[in-house]
Amino acid sequence: GGLFTARGGTLAGTTTLNNGAILTLSGKTVNNDTLTIREGDALLQGGSLTGNGSVEKSGSGTLTVSNTTLTQKAVNLNEGTLTLNDSTVTTDVIAQRGTALKLTGSTVLNGAIDPTNVTLASGATWNIPDNATVLSVVDDLSHAGQIHFTSTRTGKFVPATLKVKNLNGQNGTISLRVRPDMAQNNADRLVIDGGRATGKTILNLVNAGNSGTGLATTGKGIQVVEAINGATTEEGAFVQGNMLQAGAFNYTLNRDSDESWYLRSEERYRAEVPLYASMLTQAMDYDRILAGSRSHQTGVNGENNSVRLSIQGGHLGHDNNGGIARGTTPESSGSYGFVRLEGDLLRTEVAGMSVTAGVYGAAGHSSVDVKDDDGSRAGTVRDDAGSLGGYLNLTHTSSGLWADIVAQGTRHSMKASSDNNDFRARGRGWLGSLETGLPFSITDNLMLEPRLQYTWQGLSLDDGKDNAGYVKFGHGSAQHVRAGFRLGSHNDMTFGEGTSSRAPLRDSAKHSVRELPVNWWVQPSVIRTFSSRGDMRVGTSTAGSGMTFSPSQNGTSLDLQAGLEARVRENITLSIQAGYAHSVSGSSAEGYNGQATLNVTF
């Protein structure tokens, strides 16, 4: 017994503490031999004890190490109980069966334990190094703290093992290193040997390999808890504490009939796969809507050039037709909007043909929510786009037969956001369109005009990386044919003399809205999308890790547009239109839109 104080220095030879002894360390004390604690309780507190020696606990009773930094070659627990309280201990604990080791307070133990009964309190941490001189073997483990497998080696991954007879989980955590990119010897393991795992223990999974590389698991999966020699594990004994992603896959924890627990790649891919796969579709949908928003009727006055300002907004989406697993465009729903300014540069007559050419520019934004194959939310894709285009309109003067040619280029800046990733990509879209129509007069004021349009478009997106691997895009393209007709009034839009109370305005302003010249129209169409392509690949160059997805946009939709055009000044017309498209087969887009256009001639 007795109270002893060591103020630095060295413990020479064998130092022995007996029943009731208290050794208080002040500063750094070196022990290169043996510090022995015999029968009864004893307390080692304060300061630090370092060196290449050992601490030996013999006899009944409890040795408490409190508020101490202890670094020794080994601690030999031969009998009784060792309690580590609010201490940092770096050593292997070599014990005899029937003894007990308790980690309480904020204690951190760096080293192996072999074998004893261990209790980890909620604030305690046990770090198991992969270079320990002995394997960690525990009889009964009562676990409310944290256990980590730590690596000090470089090069080849060497998994570590913790063997436990009985585990009573009290919401403690065990961090396991996993290599989803390896087919064998690919994870640290907790082994339940001949006993039971009860309560609740949380398994936190650390990807110890290339985060972008993940293999589809085979057989039962990656074993992280092994039950041997008749051991059993309760249904809820282990839960997955965090998401493990690698390449295209999520890995989830599963209990098998052999009482062991495995990580398995999910049949459905991680949420980012449909999210990224939808980026090509979203950008191409926007480009097509923008190009189709302009009318071939580039001016109400056939002799004057005009400038048009249009604003359009709407909703756009794709139905669930099996999703990414079946090679179709993922389910999505969102909104878009843009402002477009266009102007005629040339208007002339050539060989009985009216020729009009011009350019346009547009700026817009779209935001689309994407769903996974099972209907759960995958994330949101946002796109800021700037476009430049040109058009050429040819109209046969006598018959009215016309053709409208459009060429368009768009710069996309996209961001795909999920719960776990923010991925950015820039892209370049191109589009060419040829539309033709021939008007027929049904009555003096009613016209029917069959129309046919062909569109071919393409898109390239930059490759990139997220926190689970690389993302690569192939060149996307699609072709569309639109067939329909326009039925509408064909009134003389001559402004005439108004009834403004101010004489100078009578030639340019009406007194009443009812006096404004107005035309209306409706246009039903069938749109067929075909020959669509656009690959998206996730993974790495490691054999078997990369996966390519090619969602199809092919399908058919029915479209109905309607509009009004009113002349509000001699040289100004205002047009509004609204429409709805409904997908009837495949993965074609659907949604609704509204547009307002101001046309000024000069």
- Other Cβ atoms less than 10 A from the Cβ of 368: the count is 27
Mean pLDDT value across residues 201-218? 78
Residue 238 has pLDDT above 90, yes or no: yes
Residue range 454-481, pLDDT digits in tens: 999 999 999 988 877 788 898 999 999 9
Could you give the percent of the chain with pLDDT greater than 90? 50
The whole-angstrom separation of Cα 235 and Cα 244 is: 21
Q: What is the dihedral angle through the alpha carbons of 279, 285, 290, 293, rounded to the nearest 10 degrees?
A: -160
Residue 326 has pLDDT above 80, yes or no: no
The CA angle 163-167-173, to the nearest 5 degrees, is 90
At 503, phi and psi to the nearest 5? Answer: -55, -40
User: Given this model, what pLDDT does residue 299 score?
Assistant: 41
User: Given this model, what pLDDT does residue 499 score?
Assistant: 52
The three state secondary structure string of 174-203 is EEEEECCCCCCCCECEEEEECCEEEEEEEE
Q: Which residue has the higher pLDDT, 469 or 565?
A: 565
At 63, phi and psi to the nearest 5? Answer: -100, 120
The whole-angstrom separation of Cα 43 and Cα 64 is: 5
Residue range 63-83, pLDDT digits in tens: 899 999 999 988 999 999 999
Check: CB of residue 169 under 8 Å from CB of residue 201: yes
DSSP β-ladder status, 476-489 and 446-461: antiparallel
Q: Which residue has the tokens 């006899």?
A: 59
DSSP 491-509: ----------SSGGGTTT-
User: Given this model, what pLDDT does residue 301 score?
Assistant: 42
Confidence (pTM): 0.63
Residue range 475-484, pLDDT digits in tens: 999 999 999 9
Max distance between CA atoms of the chain, in angstroms, equals: 120
At 91, phi and psi to the nearest 5? Answer: -175, 165
Smallest CA-to-CA distance from 195 within 141, 147, 148, 255 is with 141
Confidence grade of residue 511 (pLDDT, cut at 50, 70, 90): very low
DSSP β-ladder status, 547-549 and 536-539: antiparallel
515's tokens: 């006096």
Domain boundaries, the chain: 1-82, 111-267, 272-601
Residue range 380-433, pLDDT digits in tens: 999 999 999 999 999 999 999 999 999 999 999 999 999 888 999 999 999 999
Highest mean pLDDT (candidates 27-36, 186-195, 316-325, 561-570) = 186-195
450's tokens: 């069959």
In our burial notation (b when 16+ CB lie closer than 10 A, e otherwise), range 38-58 reads bebbbbbbbbbbbbebbbbbb
Sign of CA dihedral 417, 419, 423, 428: negative
Q: Which CATH number fits domain 272-601: 1.10.760.10, 2.40.160.40, 3.40.50.2300, 2.40.128.130?
A: 2.40.128.130
Residue range 9-47, pLDDT digits in tens: 777 777 777 777 788 887 788 888 888 888 778 888 888
User: 131: left (phi > 0), else alpha (psi -120 to 50), else beta?
Assistant: alpha
Average pLDDT, the chain: 86
197's tokens: 């795992």
- Other Cβ atoms less than 10 A from the Cβ of 373: the count is 20
Confidence grade of residue 582 (pLDDT, cut at 50, 70, 90): very high
Residue range 91-108, pLDDT digits in tens: 999 999 889 999 999 999
551's tokens: 């969602």
Q: Which amino acid is at 584?
A: V
Residue 303 has pLDDT above 60, yes or no: no
Helix, coil or strand: residue 282? helix
DSSP β-ladder status, 306-318 and 590-601: antiparallel
